[in-house]
Amino acid sequence: MVIKAPNVDYPGVSPPARVTPLRLTIIHPCIGRFAGDRSYIRTWQMEPLPAATLAGLTPAGVTIRFYDDRMEEIPYDEPTDLVAISIETYTARRAYQIASEYRRRKIPVVMGGFHASLMPDEVARHAESVVIGEAEVLWPRVIDDARHGTLQKFYRTEGRPALSGIRPDRAIFQGKRYLKVGLIESGRGCHFKCDFCAVQTVFKQTQNRRPIDDILDEVRRVKEYAKLIFFVDDNITSNMAQAKEFYRALIPLKVRWVSQSSINAAHDEEFLTLLKQSGCQGVLIGFESMEAANLKAMDKGFNLMRGGFERAMENLHRHAIRVYGTFVFGYDHDTPDSFDSAVRFAKEQGMYIAAFNHLTPFPGTPLYARLQAENRLLYESWWLDDEYRYNRIPFVPRCMSAEDLQRHCLDARRRFYSWGSILRRSMHRVNRENGFMWRNFFLINALHRADVSGRDGYPLGDLGHAKDLVEAC
């Protein structure tokens, strides 16, 4: 589908009427696939918000095409003047393959996203231009330079840009069958400094929030088609006062929503009341570990504040807030018993869903630097290594083998998503409190059960892409 960018002009950018029209192709890369495997082309994925945000930032007079590599083939021979790819660490290898195909056709590629900010020099080998940091201020300039054939190698954001005026262009999603969950960003970044988290690395422990009226306008548009809204903020509680103000304003819109939160929210009664009143159905909370020594090592000792996990869950349940709990294993104080205690706690607390994953050292994080200094990384760059596969352990754990760590994570997921566990958790009062969420409980848990080991051994990048990568000059 061809989309015309909205008629928005930007200061310092040449008026579109005076220059050659530009054709822009935006691509959302998949993680990877096996050679010849077409089963990846399926429907009902989450809509990729970064692509819509970029389309909304694009100045007037640009023709936009969008392709989702997770669910459709990319028409490399379709005429275009510029390709834009937002990449994460897990999609970097596939993104480089896609860029290489366009480079063979003499089409310039610009890359941005988290991995571009974490590893700009690596990304620069595979893109004519690299956007480092947030694109709100930079993107109109990139488009203007592309129009005039003066693309720069690096575009770097200075400081944190204002997030006012952001209007994602969801017209690019027309004709694609995404889940009826509307993704909205109300804030970006986090004040905490968890040592495994790339968010704190990129945003330097700061958070920006959009103006409330901008968010509410987007909520009104999205609720027209979405049964549930997912605020994709890195941490909705990073600025508690601003969040409270927003949820007060959200109450009259009568929407259902979920988001991601740090555990401190569970100890603020006013905040919990506002969550409930504004339509919050659940929050993702990183419990991470039942071991106090591990929490201290990851700079998350605050997780045990004010009575710890049990008190936090009690407070959340009292306000009918469901919990998606996440646990991470592989820190130095983890033993096989650590998995048992985490699974037992998640079951007893009636968590709506839960994740039991191994620790992943992302580049640029304090964790990665520490494991590298201790010579414990098993791959120089696991996200690019031919031998690495999804869910493989990329480092040497302290108290168990890498193979045992992987096996215990898999076993924890199997136990939590057993039919007996699903049935017992479905009867917890917080999961039965709302008919909509209770009906969807069984579908969501069945999908997680089916995916317990479905991605184990999955490749990063397309194994059918046998050509050598054509790197940028």
Q: Report the CATH number at residue 248.
A: 3.80.30.20
The total of other beta-carbon atoms located within 10 Å of residue 43's CB is 11
Q: 246 and 98: one domain?
A: no
> Strand (E) positions, 262-348?
280-288, 322-329
Instruction: Tell me: do 126 and 206 sit in the same domain.
Output: no
Question: What is the DSSP secondary-structure string of 116-169?
Answer: HHH-HHHHHTT-SEEEES-STTTHHHHHHHHHTT---SEEE--SPPP-TT----
pLDDT score at 99: 97
Query: 396: burial class by Cβ within 10 Å (0-12, 13-18, 19+)?
Result: middle
Percent of the chain scoring above 90 in pLDDT: 72
Please check the confidence at residue 181 and state whether its pLDDT lies above 80: yes
Residues 280 and 416 in one domain: yes
- Residue 19, domain extent: 2-162
Rounded alpha-carbon distances, angstroms, from residue 69 to 26, 80, 331, 414: 11, 17, 34, 29
pLDDT tens readout for residues 2-41: 555 554 444 445 554 455 689 999 999 999 999 888 776 6
**Domain annotation covers residue 456:** no
Q: What is the mean pLDDT of residues 188-212?
A: 85
Per-residue pLDDT reduced to its tens digit, 159-178: 888 888 889 999 999 989 89
Q: What is the predicted pLDDT for the residue at 11? A: 47
Residue 226 shares a structural domain with residue 106: no
Q: Give the residue among 4, 310, 294 at the shortest CA–CA distance from 174.
A: 4
pLDDT of residue 208: 84
Whether pLDDT at 425 is above 90: yes
Give the Cα separation of 112 and 134 in Å (integer). Answer: 8
pLDDT band at 54 (very low <50, low <70, confident <90, very high): very high
pLDDT at residue number 158:
84
- Is residue 96 pLDDT above 80, yes or no? yes
Average pLDDT value over all residues in the chain:
91
Q: Among 162, 194, 223, give the residue marking a domain's end.
A: 162
Q: Is residue 174 part of a domain?
A: no
Question: Residue 377 pLDDT > 50, yes or no?
Answer: yes
Q: What does the alpha-carbon distance between residue 117 and residue 421 come to, in Å, rounded to a whole number?
A: 41
Same domain, 130 and 33: yes
11 Rama class: left (phi>0) / alpha (psi -120 to 50) / beta: beta
Q: What is the mean pLDDT of residues 55-73?
A: 95
The pLDDT value recorded for residue 451 is 86
- pLDDT, position 161: 83
H helix and E strand count, the chain: 17, 17
> What confidence tier does 70 reach under pLDDT thresholds 50, 70, 90?
very high
SS3 170: helix
Residue 356 near residue 339, CB atoms below 8 Å: yes
Q: Residue 455: pLDDT band by 50, 70, 90 thresholds?
A: confident
Do 394 and 382 meet the contact criterion of CB atoms below 8 Å apart? Answer: yes
> pLDDT tens digits for 224-278?
999 999 999 888 887 788 889 999 999 999 999 999 988 888 899 999 999 999 9
Confidence (pLDDT) at 7: 43
- 350 with 405, same domain: the answer is yes
| Paired tokens of 293 | 């020594």
Domain assignment present for residue 360? The answer is yes
pLDDT confidence band for 44 (50 / 70 / 90): low
What does DSSP say about strands 207-209 and 187-189: parallel, antiparallel, or unpaired? antiparallel
Total domains present in the chain:
2
Pair 269, 213 in one domain = yes
* Residue carrying structure tokens 């791959």: 379
Does any domain span residue 175?
no
pTM: 0.91
| Residue 75, SS3 per DSSP | coil
Give residue 416's pLDDT band: very low, low, confident or very high (50, 70, 90): very high
Residue 4 confidence (pLDDT): 54
pLDDT given for residue 285 in this prediction: 93
370 pLDDT more than 90: yes
Residues 283 and 354 in one domain: yes
Please tell me the distance from the alpha carbon of residue 201 to that of residue 365, in angstroms, as a whole number: 6
DSSP percent split of the chain into helix, strand, coil, nearest 5: 40, 20, 45
For residue range 280-337, what is the model confidence (pLDDT) as tens digits? 999 999 999 999 999 999 888 888 877 789 999 999 999 999 999 999 999 999 999 9
Instruction: Establish if 460 belongs to a structural domain.
Output: no
Q: What is the CATH number of the domain that holds 90?
A: 3.40.50.280
d(CA 158, CA 407) in angstroms, rounded, equals 44
Q: Which two tokens stand for residue 428?
A: 């917890």
What percentage of the chain carries pLDDT values higher than 70? 95
- Residue with token string 């941005």: 112
- Give the number of other CB atoms < 10 A from CB of residue 48: 23
